[in-house]
């Protein structure tokens, strides 16, 4: 594996899950693998879990992480070709990506969508520019349309907590006051499609994710019906895809409650807004897996880095 930019970079989800679980049991066993190698973490957007867990993963492999908030620490980057750069951007991605490749053995990038220009977001301009111009492997720390480190994390967490062979997993939209990206939802859908689970999505009308991603996964507009007999309820808000980036609905009736999910395990990528997306009782209850999901972020990132280093 050269880059890890999409869930499809996982060749065999079950063997990856097995390998990640092994790392989790013995996180320091490959501490020599990344010795004297540098991971550059470039943030175009805010981050807490991704920032810390990816650094931790690098440290577990003996790597030196170097963190940079691109806009705050440096300056605006130009992504369009052929531009006369007489505006607000001071460096072109062609140079920036090649230059960072001189100092870092692996580059991890976080860059959110505009949620305004659908085509631009779907072209994954930032991520794909790094892939195109960097001379070292690229890791996606959440891009415009995907968050494959989170998707793989969720696969590990479901595998660890499943009590039956083919559990029912429900991805449920939840309300939010801000227009949020589709990245986590997309990668979760793509991950579940690779796993041996019964998987359904539920969201209000107008909130269907990109049909090229959901494919033949059943989508219910009736949340109650979808949640029936669920073993795992994965909750996440996203803005409308059809009416791109818009908030169509802010009613609290889609908020996840203990009454709704019963004995199902509750999952969320975090950060989560309490009592807006999900009620306190769920997060504070014994069926919440959110902290274990956060913990597994380290081992997802660590396996990805390990595979990249072994390939390098």
Footprint on this chain of a copy of itself (rule: CB under 8 A):
28, 31, 36, 38, 40, 43, 46-49, 51-53, 55-56, 59-60, 64, 66, 68-69, 72-75, 78, 81-86, 89-92, 94-96, 98-100, 102-104, 177, 270-276, 280, 283-284, 290-291, 294-295, 297-298
Pull the structure tokens for residue 88: 């607000």
**CA distance linking residue 41 with residue 51, whole number of Å:** 8
C-alpha 156: how far from its chain's center?
A: 13
Phi, psi of 107 (to 5 degrees): -120, 130
Q: Which is nearer to a copy of itself, 80 or 116 (CB)?
A: 80
Handedness of CA 48, 51, 57, 62 (dihedral sign): negative
Query: Is 173 flagged in the annotation as binding?
Result: no
Query: Is 48 flagged in the annotation as binding?
Result: yes
Q: Which is nearer to a copy of itself, 127 or 255 (CB)?
A: 255
Q: Which is nearer to a copy of itself, 195 or 272 (CB)?
A: 272
Q: Which is nearer to a copy of itself, 82 or 216 (CB)?
A: 82
Query: Is 303 flagged in the annotation as binding?
Result: no
227 Cβ partners below 8 Å, 6+ apart? Answer: 170, 172, 202, 233, 260, 261, 264
Query: Is 250 flagged in the annotation as binding?
Result: no
Sheet with 198-202, strands from edge to edge, namely 219-220, 198-202, 168-173, 232-236, 265-267
Query: Is 129 flagged in the annotation as binding?
Result: no
Query: Is 49 flagged in the annotation as binding?
Result: yes
Query: Is 147 flagged in the annotation as binding?
Result: yes
Instruction: In angstroms, give the least distance from the CB of 196 to a copy of itself.
Output: 27
88 Cβ partners below 8 Å, 6+ apart? Answer: 76
C-alpha 213: how far from its chain's center?
A: 15
Instruction: In angstroms, give the least distance from the CB of 56 to a copy of itself.
Output: 4
Instruction: In angstroms, give the least distance from the CB of 199 to a copy of itself.
Output: 25
Instruction: In angstroms, give the least distance from the CB of 27 to a copy of itself.
Output: 9
Phi, psi of 182 (to 5 degrees): -95, 0
Pull the structure tokens for residue 276: 């807006």
Instruction: In angstroms, give the least distance from the CB of 218 to a copy of itself.
Output: 30
Instruction: In angstroms, give the least distance from the CB of 214 to a copy of itself.
Output: 27
Q: Which is nearer to a copy of itself, 48 or 248 (CB)?
A: 48
Instruction: In angstroms, give the least distance from the CB of 178 to a copy of itself.
Output: 8
Query: For residues 163-184, b (16+ Cβ closer than 10 Å) or e, as one string?
Result: eeeebbbbbbbbbbeebbbbbb
Q: Which is nearer to a copy of itself, 73 or 225 (CB)?
A: 73
28 Cβ partners below 8 Å, 6+ apart? Answer: 60
Query: Is 95 flagged in the annotation as binding?
Result: no
Residue numbering of the annotated binding site for N(2)-succinyl-L-ornithine: 142, 176, 236, 273
Residue numbering of the annotated binding site: 47-50, 75, 110, 142, 147-150, 176, 236, 269-270, 273, 297
């Amino acid at each position: 594996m050269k880059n890890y930019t999409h869930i499809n970079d996982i060749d065999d989800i079950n063997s990856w899950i097995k390998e990640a679980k092994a790392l989790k049991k013995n996180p320091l066993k490959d501490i020599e693998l990344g010795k004297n190698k540098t991971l550059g973490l470039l943030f175009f957007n805010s981050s807490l879990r991704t920032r810390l867990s990816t650094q931790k993963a690098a440290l577990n492999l003996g790597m030196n992480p170097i963190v940079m908030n691109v806009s705050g620490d440096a300056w605006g980057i130009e992504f369009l070709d052929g531009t006369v750069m007489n505006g607000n951007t001071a460096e072109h991605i062609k140079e920036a990506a090649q230059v960072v490749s001189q100092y870092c053995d692996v580059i991890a990038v976080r860059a959110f969508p505009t949620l305004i220009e659908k085509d631009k977001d779907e072209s994954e301009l930032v991520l794909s520019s790094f892939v195109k111009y960097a001379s070292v492997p690229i890791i996606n720390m959440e891009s415009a349309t995907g968050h494959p480190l989170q998707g793989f994390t969720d696969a590990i967490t479901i595998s660890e907590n499943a009590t039956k062979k083919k559990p029912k997993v429900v991805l449920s939209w939840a309300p939010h006051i801000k227009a949020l990206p589709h990245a986590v939802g997309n990668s979760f859908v793509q991950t579940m499609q690779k796993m041996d689970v019964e998987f359904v999505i539920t969201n209000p009308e107008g909130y269907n994710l990109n049909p090229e991603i959901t494919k033949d996964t059943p989508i219910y507009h009736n949340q109650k019906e979808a949640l029936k007999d669920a073993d795992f309820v994965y909750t996440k808000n996203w803005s409308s895809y059809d009416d791109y980036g818009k908030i169509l609905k802010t009613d609290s009736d889609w908020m996840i409650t203990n009454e709704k999910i019963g004995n199902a395990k509750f999952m969320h990528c975090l950060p989560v807004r309490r009592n807006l997306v999900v009620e306190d009782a769920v997060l504070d209850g014994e069926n919440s897996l959110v902290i274990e999901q956060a913990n597994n972020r380290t081992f997802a990132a660590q396996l990805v880095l390990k595979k990249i280093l072994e390939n390098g």
